[in-house]
Structure 1
Amino acid sequence: MKLVASAAQMRAVPRSSEFRNGGVSFWFRQTGLPDRRPALPGSADYDVCVVGAGYTGLWTAYYLKKAQPDLRIALLEREFAGFGASGRNGGWLSAHLAGSRERYAAPHGKGGVIALQRAMMAAVDEVIQVAAAEEIDADIVKGGMRVVATNPAQRARLQEEVRFLQEWGYWPEDIYLLEHDHEPRLRVDGTVVAAHSPHAARIQPARLVLGLARTVERLGADIFENTPVTEIRPRDGDQPAAAVTEHGTVRAGHVIVATEAFTASLHGQRARWQPVGSAMIVTEPLSADTWRHIGWEGREVLRDAAHAHVYAQRTADDRIAIGGRGAPYRIRAGSDTNGATQPQAIAELWRALARLFPAASDAPVAHAWSGALGVPRDWCPTVDLDPATGLGWAGGYVDSGVTASNLAGRTLRDLVLDRQSELTRLPWVGRRARGWQPGPLRWIGTQVSQGLLRTADRREAHHVSQTSTLASLAEKLSGR
């Protein structure tokens, strides 16, 4: 997002009379914020302690209890289940795999990367099937994913992306360029070419995480909220691994760190994953006439092919929700503003909405919010468990956490239960990237790389027909 927005730009944004900024997210505005569960009552012993009650932690607990119902499992959450990225994301359940395939392939071979990509596709259907089986109504519609290019440079990049993905685990029917008369219709202004993948669904993320938390409790796991964890202790001789809180210490055979962007707040974990801001806005419900113009009957999730791309969905109540990475990032590890986002981020997202959907440009913005996602130094997600210390972790999903967290939860189940499986052999298991630089240095690097990407997008939109060299420089600076 641009770091400066003029007063005139801000005044141009139409806002609902009931506009809100923050309050965690619009998704929780729809569901209502949940009543908080009691905090940890004191020190205790469990078989497995999961730190963080977002998607990763909840999926891990779910699959462990399904596999071995007698396991004693505790989940420790600083706020409430789903407070972080799990309840604030764009509602994309997609097979997108973050990170460099070549980096994954270096130690594991191309076949391992293809297996990981196919596992991500299967995870989309797994989430849908579990939601149905557990009667979790998360407004899920599997309409696929549409990617649009709106200038010649984006067109060349999208065509190359489709070709590349078809070499790395997508078969021709898994992603392909669309014909101009493709149905169902989705009219995005300025589109010069579009691609489609069937492996994606729209969801209401807060409904999914709240339903998953209720299911995990019903299966017998204990969720303790308002319980910040300050330290993770590895197994030491006869002493089990432990999670230390102000309310007591939970000792367990395994402690799973599932804190994603908030990992930096844990002692000794500051450099593992960098918190990067992502912001969203959602409109009031659009009129039937506006929808007749736009189309979007298939409820596909949508993104553009810009470097600083935006992502969007048509919600169950006929709004447009649109987001983008790059909301101002705070140096202080783990800082959060209850979802409030900067005015300049709101203005930038509204301009993107108006550019892509001119017919919706006068729709009032009803809600804006933001959150943080965890980014590893090499941009490749990881899952691991160290038998010697009893500590496990998963995260660094970048922008594919809704699906990747499910795959990670099933993988952690097998690792905790010491099962050798196809999941434990996937190339993200055991992967470790070097840590990020100290806070001020990574903050400067993040701001510079984001600025370069946005400058590259502006140049491609107005001046150049090929991918700007500034984008390549930005990727080198960010470590992609």
Structure 2
Amino acid sequence: MSVLGDARPLPVWWEGRDVSAVSGPLVRSTTADLVIVGGGLTGLWAAIHALEESPDRDVILLEASHVAAGASGRNGGFVSESLSHGLAHGEATWPGELDELVRLGRENVREIGEFLRAERIGADFRLCGKTTMATRPHEVAALLAAHERNERYGEESHLLDRDEAQADVHSPTYLAGLRTMGGGLVDPAALCAGLRDAALARGLRLHESTTVTGLERDGAGVRCRTEHGEVHARQVIIATNAFDPLLRRLRAYVIPVWDYVLATEPLTPAQLASIGWSQNQGLTDAGNEFHYYRRTSDDRILWGGYDAVYYFRSPTAPGREQRDRTHELLARHFRETFPQLADVRFTHRWGGLIDTTSRFTPVFGTALGGRVAYAVGYTGLGVAASRFGARVALDALAGSETERTRLSLVRKRPVPVPPEPLRWPAVQVTRAALAREDRTGRRGPLLQVMDRFGVGFTS
């Protein structure tokens, strides 16, 4: 019998929650001041901020499925303060503005917490930080370097030796740990539901089950074509994550990568005692191919990552949310990490798309004469950074020069990724180089060249 048993093929966050569409599809032609394409976190934050800035603005959000159907409702719920995909990558790529990026990232997370409290959104938002665990000898030195870097940028950080790491979370695989206090955890589906309701209360017009099939100039505005109607809008924000970006130029920057996750049944008090983990922080491995894992509010363990998969020709259509090979690999790694939980069942298994870029940070910009703005490419750190991206997109549509739009991270695009048939082998060769570094601790020539070009593998 499979180790996955009768695990349900859906995100654990959706268990017991009605995630179906709360609104009907667009079935006629209409007009709007602003159309937002994509009902995930970027789109929801964009709607909220647009309506707070101008309460009389007519805003429509068009979502192909239901709110949070994509990565926003499928992720691990890790809330990161980083806008640069980690301090190491920020220091290597934007050394002159990293202090500002750090400040803006911390302000962004603080303001998310303030908004959730003010709106009384119960999303289990906790600023509990995380611990990165070394499981190979060469990773111990890497944690020391990360600790020193954290101290340079004012990040509260604590190095744990082997005994301290294993005392905190009881796993025989840990050789050291780095406990950082910035950021935390959230229930992403509850977060999205709360943001949706907040946007609707401010006047958002929401149409789910509505796929946008094209954008084109329409006089001084943009025509958004859908299957059963169209919207004539003054401005548009594209917030489509890894899905069809509707702009040809973005296909050279955003790579859809499939990420897979498991969740266990709720642990008993005895099982919880066997693993410690009393601080209930998020956990990750220190390698390039890493697991991320956490406890949920009902004491399950969510366990994901490691085997990110790119499929030839960048498919994004449903049908790849389940991958036996990867889910079984994750289950084996889980039992190696926590052998004391060998009898724990997995109750949920799922997958979702990550919108990665070569730089591991989003790509921002405008199109159609400044009528369209986009913010995509969060590469797994979008739970908090999506709010920042939404504000950048609104700044861009307004033509405003702000502390956000002045950033090189915002103004400069990442290195484009080659199209097929070159893209698939390029991704596989790079993955092999990253796995080799994990095994040996040595950064090979390919990764060194990529580092010089600002590709995001220093993160």
CA distance in 2: counterparts of 1:83 and 1:444, whole angstroms: 30
Aligned residue among 421, 427, 452 for 2:402 = 421
- TM-score normalised by L of structure 2: 0.90
Number of the residue aligned with 2:444: 469
Checking the alignment, whether the CA contact within 8 Å between 1:261 and 1:334 is kept in structure 2 is no
Number of the residue aligned with 2:159: 177
Aligned residue among 356, 364, 372 for 1:375 = 356
> 2:131 matched to 1:131?
no
The aligned runs of 1:206-225 (5 Å cut-off) are 206-225=189-208
Aligned residue among 257, 260, 278 for 1:279 = 260
The aligned runs of 1:350-429 (5 Å cut-off) are 350-385=331-366, 388-429=369-410
Checking the alignment, whether the CA contact within 8 Å between 1:175 and 1:195 is kept in structure 2 is yes
Number of the residue aligned with 1:324: 305
Number of the residue aligned with 1:40: 26
Task: Identify if the C-alpha distance between structure 1 residues 243 and 225 changes in structure 2 by more than 3 Å, giving closer, same or farther.
Answer: same
Task: Identify if the C-alpha distance between structure 1 residues 93 and 60 changes in structure 2 by more than 3 Å, giving closer, same or farther.
Answer: same
Checking the alignment, whether the CA contact within 8 Å between 2:21 and 2:67 is kept in structure 1 is no
Deviations 1:42-92 (A, max 9, x none): 222211111111000110111111121111111111111111100111110
1:446 match: secondary structure: helix
Deviations 1:164-220 (A, max 9, x none): 3444xx31x433423655899323333222112211211111111122112111110
Number of the residue aligned with 1:98: 85
CA distance in 1: counterparts of 2:109 and 2:78, whole angstroms: 10
Aligned residue among 82, 97, 111 for 1:112 = 97
Checking the alignment, whether the CA contact within 8 Å between 1:147 and 1:304 is kept in structure 2 is yes
The aligned runs of 1:11-410 (5 Å cut-off) are 14-17=3-6, 19-21=7-9, 23=10, 25-96=11-82, 97-98=84-85, 100-101=89-90, 104-105=93-94, 110-167=95-152, 170-171=153-154, 173-178=155-160, 181=164, 185-233=168-216, 235=217, 238-264=219-245, 269-337=250-318, 340-385=321-366, 388-410=369-391
Task: Identify if the C-alpha distance between structure 1 residues 266 and 367 changes in structure 2 by more than 3 Å, giving closer, same or farther.
Answer: farther
CA distance in 2: counterparts of 1:248 and 1:77, whole angstroms: 13
Deviations 1:25-46 (A, max 9, x none): 2211242322342111222221
1:336 Cα shift? 3.1
1:473 Cα shift? 6.8
Deviations 1:101-142 (A, max 9, x none): 25642xxxx342221122122222222222222122112222
CA distance in 1: counterparts of 2:165 and 2:313, whole angstroms: 47
CA distance in 1: counterparts of 2:76 and 2:446, whole angstroms: 24
The aligned runs of 1:444-459 (5 Å cut-off) are 444-457=425-438, 459=439
Moved more, 260-269 or 420-429: 260-269
Q: Report % sequence identity.
A: 30
CA distance in 2: counterparts of 1:220 and 1:202, whole angstroms: 29
CA distance in 2: counterparts of 1:378 and 1:343, whole angstroms: 30
CA distance in 2: counterparts of 1:339 and 1:196, whole angstroms: 34
Number of the residue aligned with 1:4: none
CA distance in 2: counterparts of 1:72 and 1:193, whole angstroms: 53
1:402 Cα shift? 0.4
Which amino acid counterpart does residue 200 of structure 1 have in structure 2? G
1:455 Cα shift? 4.5
1:438 Cα shift? 1.5
Deviations 1:263-298 (A, max 9, x none): 356556432301011110001111211211211222
1:156 match: secondary structure: helix
Structure 2: 5+ residue stretches without partners? none
Checking the alignment, whether the CA contact within 8 Å between 1:270 and 1:333 is kept in structure 2 is no
CA distance in 2: counterparts of 1:293 and 1:265, whole angstroms: 50
Checking the alignment, whether the CA contact within 8 Å between 2:85 and 2:360 is kept in structure 1 is yes
Deviations 1:444-464 (A, max 9, x none): 22233223433443x34xxxx
Checking the alignment, whether the CA contact within 8 Å between 1:78 and 1:228 is kept in structure 2 is yes
- TM-score normalised by L of structure 1: 0.86
CA distance in 1: counterparts of 2:380 and 2:139, whole angstroms: 20
1:145 Cα shift? 1.0
Moved more, 347-356 or 333-342: 333-342
Checking the alignment, whether the CA contact within 8 Å between 2:254 and 2:357 is kept in structure 1 is yes
CA distance in 1: counterparts of 2:254 and 2:17, whole angstroms: 30
Checking the alignment, whether the CA contact within 8 Å between 2:165 and 2:174 is kept in structure 1 is no
Task: Identify if the C-alpha distance between structure 1 residues 269 and 366 changes in structure 2 by more than 3 Å, giving closer, same or farther.
Answer: same
Checking the alignment, whether the CA contact within 8 Å between 1:231 and 1:267 is kept in structure 2 is no
Which amino acid counterpart does residue 363 of structure 2 have in structure 1? T
Checking the alignment, whether the CA contact within 8 Å between 1:139 and 1:316 is kept in structure 2 is yes
Which amino acid counterpart does residue 90 of structure 2 have in structure 1? R
Moved more, 177-186 or 238-247: 177-186
Moved more, 370-379 or 158-167: 158-167
1:247 match: secondary structure: coil
Moved more, 180-189 or 299-308: 180-189
CA distance in 2: counterparts of 1:324 and 1:182, whole angstroms: 21
Task: Identify if the C-alpha distance between structure 1 residues 31 and 417 changes in structure 2 by more than 3 Å, giving closer, same or farther.
Answer: same
Checking the alignment, whether the CA contact within 8 Å between 1:45 and 1:250 is kept in structure 2 is yes
Task: Identify if the C-alpha distance between structure 1 residues 411 and 264 changes in structure 2 by more than 3 Å, giving closer, same or farther.
Answer: closer
Measured on the aligned residues, the alpha-carbon RMSD in Å equals 2.7
1:389 Cα shift? 2.9
Structure 1: 5+ residue stretches without partners? 1-10, 461-465
2:374 match: secondary structure: strand
Checking the alignment, whether the CA contact within 8 Å between 1:14 and 1:363 is kept in structure 2 is no
Which amino acid counterpart does residue 95 of structure 1 have in structure 2? E
